[in-house]
Chains A and B, each alone.
Chain A
Amino acid sequence: MTDRAFAVLRPGALTTVQDLGRPGHAHIGVPRAGALDLPAHLLANRLVGNPPHAATLETTLTGCAVRPHGAVTAAVTGAPCGVTVDGRPAPWGAAFRVPAGAVLDIGRAARGVRSYLALGGGVAAERVLGSRSADLLSGLGPAPLAEGAILPIGAPVAPPPPADAVPQPGPPKELVLRLRPGPRDDWFAPAALTALAAGRYRVASASNRIGLRTEGPPLSRIRRAELPSEGLVLGAVQVPPDGRPVVFLADHPTTGGYPVIGVVPERDLAAAAQAVPGTPLRFLPLRRAR
């Protein structure tokens, strides 16, 4: 059996293989997918000497445990959590060595939602349309980790850089999402943006990789007509008939038929990926783009 592989001992609530996703295929109905907390994915890769596009594991709330067949360099970033190797503490946010056959356990997130595990050489699951990302909307890419599954690890391309302590933003106590109005803010009452900015929203438990769902005051539409399906971008804030905004994340559908009141800039979405259900959420409307 090859050394360049690992076995899944505990998959956790949901652990998926993620890289930079497969943008460029929206016109044939393929979501972009990719790591939800992109800075955390990139940092984990950098710590172990991987290029940015190497695939990492993205955990959800309860971590995961794996057993690499051969010795490998690893790093865990994103949601802070306990990390152990054969039961002994290992660092979070720095590279460490995992001996052959040792159990690497990523614990429950102390804060935040998603931790990222990079292994030197990257998770070498099969590429689909150029990406190893699991896309949970359309089912493309590798299946979420299951107990007993064995996944290949790629060949390391560079030694890990000299140890460096890297500050990481803590998961938000309050999530503030900036919002560029449009393209369909005119489908809502003129006061809707003000209502959105003033509303006390919370992150809803139905949130997932497709979208961050919200609880809070519903927004009222003034146009009742059916909107013909139109293309959606990452960060689009769509308002379904119940009036509760949904912020689209990496696995969002490529087209949709509910009006988009505004778009959250991509750099705010990493915080959205780490906001646990119940986190207070505020939208901060920006001036309209020219």
Chain B
Amino acid sequence: MRVLPVGDHALLVELPTGEAALALHAELLRRRAAGTLPRIGEIVPAARTVLLDGVEEPGALARRLTRWEIPPAPPAAEAALTLSVRYDGPDLDEVAAAWGVRPEEVAAIHSGAAYRVAFCGFAPGFGYLTGLPERYATPRRGTPRTAVPPGSVALAGPYTGVYPRASPGGWQLIGTTDAVLWDPGREPAALLAPGVLVRFVPEPAS
């Protein structure tokens, strides 16, 4: 773990792996819930870091952090959010080719994995989900689409994402869900918040 100061009121904690970042994030939330953390304005996990912003005394917190024993993030066996997916995306053939499988096998492979939201970014409620085995990493599209429909289930690199709203996007689209991923009038506003466990379930073909 490396703790880097960011300005005068923030720390960037850098970890060796995404798994370790998830574990630190889970530990931070646990300690915050237990009331043993000083006030932190924002806890923002990312690919291999956790940003702590709005910290009164970052130096003191940095010294404490480096002494923590951090258990691994809880296993993905517990209750997961289930998203029903029609595996009908326009990039199924391309993804199948990248994986070396037939297009009709993509649904079983993708829905066979257990996922966790590693972090959010790009747009409100857009989560970067890890869990797909490494060999199924998927290159981005050469040319991004100018409009990706909301609910599109998509792949890029090691991540699965679901577009919460219509937006431009360069990820490979493999399916569609009707779940409302983002609703600022709802609590929680984002279904796919960091740490949330997710299973994708194929909808039977109609």
In the complex, chain A residues whose CB is within 8 Å of the CB of B189 = 25, 28, 30, 129
- A229-B47, A233-B10 known; A23-B42 Cβ under 8 A: yes
Residue A3 lies at the interface, judged by CB distance under 8 Å to chain B = no
Within 8 Å of chain B (Cβ to Cβ): is A236? Answer: yes
A138 touches B7 (CB 8 A): no
Q: Is B44 an interface residue (CB 8 A)?
A: yes
**Contact: A24 with B42, CB < 8 Å?**
yes
Q: Contact at B6–A27, with CB atoms within 8 Å?
A: no
Q: A26 vs B45: C-alpha distance in the bound complex, in angstroms?
A: 9
CB distance from A213 to the nearest CB of B (A): 20
Cβ B190 vs Cβ A26 within 8 A: no
Indicate if the CB atoms of B46 and A29 lie closer than 8 Å.
no
Question: Chain B residues near A140 (CB, 8 Å)?
Answer: 124, 184
Q: In this assembly, does B76 line the interface, its C-beta being within 8 Å of a C-beta of chain A?
A: no
- Inter-chain CA distance A283–B6, complex, in Å, is 17
List the one stretch of B53-61, B101-109, B129-137, B143-151 in contact with chain A.
Answer: B53-61
In the assembled complex, B193 has its CB within 8 A of some CB on chain A = yes
B126 touches A29 (CB 8 A): yes
Contact A231 B123 (CB under 8 A): no
Q: What chain A residues lie within 8 Å of B7 (beta carbons)?
A: 180, 233, 235-236, 263-265, 289
Q: Using CB atoms, name the residue of chain A closest to B192.
A: A28
Contact in complex: B121, A253 (CB < 8 Å): yes
- A231–B46 contact, CB under 8 A? yes
- Indicate if B4 sits at the interface (CB-CB under 8 A): yes
Chain A residues whose CB sits within 8 angstroms of the CB of B128 once the complex forms: 229
Find chain A residues with CB under 8 A from B154 CB.
none
Contacts of A263 in B (CB 8 A): 6-8, 10
A228 on the B face (CB < 8 A): yes
Contact with A along B23-63 (1 / 0, CB 8 A): 00000000000000000011111111111011000110000
**Known A27-B193, A228-B48, A290-B59: A265·B124 in contact at CB below 8 Å:** no
**Complex formed: what's the CA distance from A42 to B83 in Å?**
44
Query: Is A230 among interface residues, defined by CB-CB distance under 8 A?
Result: yes
Most chain B beta-carbon neighbours within 10 Å: one of A27, A30, A235, A264: A27
CA distance A15 to B189 in the complex (A): 27
A23 and B121 alpha carbons, distance in the complex (Å): 15
Nearest-neighbor residue (CB-CB) of A180 within chain B: B7
**A289 touching B8 in the complex, CB below 8 Å, given contacts A29-B122, A29-B123, A233-B51:** yes
* Identity of the chain A residue whose Cβ is nearest the Cβ of B49 in the assembled complex: A230
Query: Nearest CB to that of B25 among chain A residues?
Result: A27
- Do B4 and A27 have beta carbons less than 8 Å apart? no
CA distance A176 to B184 in the complex (A): 38
B31 CB, min distance to chain A CBs, angstroms: 15
CA distance A253 to B184 in the complex (A): 18
**Quick check: is B22 within 8 A (CB to CB) of the other chain?**
no
Nearest CB of B to A210, in Å: 14
Q: Which of B41, B45, B47, B58 contacts A23 (CB 8 A)?
A: B41
User: How far apart sit A26 and B124, CA to CA, in the bound complex (Å)?
Assistant: 9
- Nearest CB to that of A235 among chain B residues? B7
Contact A260 B6 (CB under 8 A): yes
Convert A227-266 into 0s and 1s, putting 1 for each residue whose CB lies closer than 8 angstroms to a CB of B.
Answer: 0111111011000000000000000011100001001110
A288 close to B (CB within 8 Å): yes
Q: In the bound complex, do residue A265 and residue B46 qualify as a contact, i.e. CB atoms below 8 Å apart?
A: no
- A138 contact set on B, CB distance < 8 A: 123-124
Question: Which residues in B have their C-beta under 8 angstroms from that of A183?
Answer: 4-6, 12
How far does the alpha carbon of A140 sit from the alpha carbon of B123 in the complex, in Å?
Answer: 10
- The contact sample of 15 A-B pairs, CB cut-off 8 A, is A27-B44, A28-B189, A30-B124, A129-B184, A140-B124, A230-B12, A230-B49, A231-B46, A233-B6, A233-B7, A255-B44, A255-B120, A255-B122, A260-B6, A263-B6
Sorted nearest first, the 8 A-B pairs with minimum C-beta distance are: A231-B51, A263-B7, A228-B47, A231-B44, A289-B5, A255-B121, A183-B4, A28-B190
12 extra interface residue pairs, beta carbon distance < 8 Å, beyond A233-B6, A263-B10? A23-B54, A26-B44, A27-B42, A28-B124, A28-B193, A138-B124, A140-B184, A228-B46, A228-B49, A230-B12, A255-B122, A263-B8
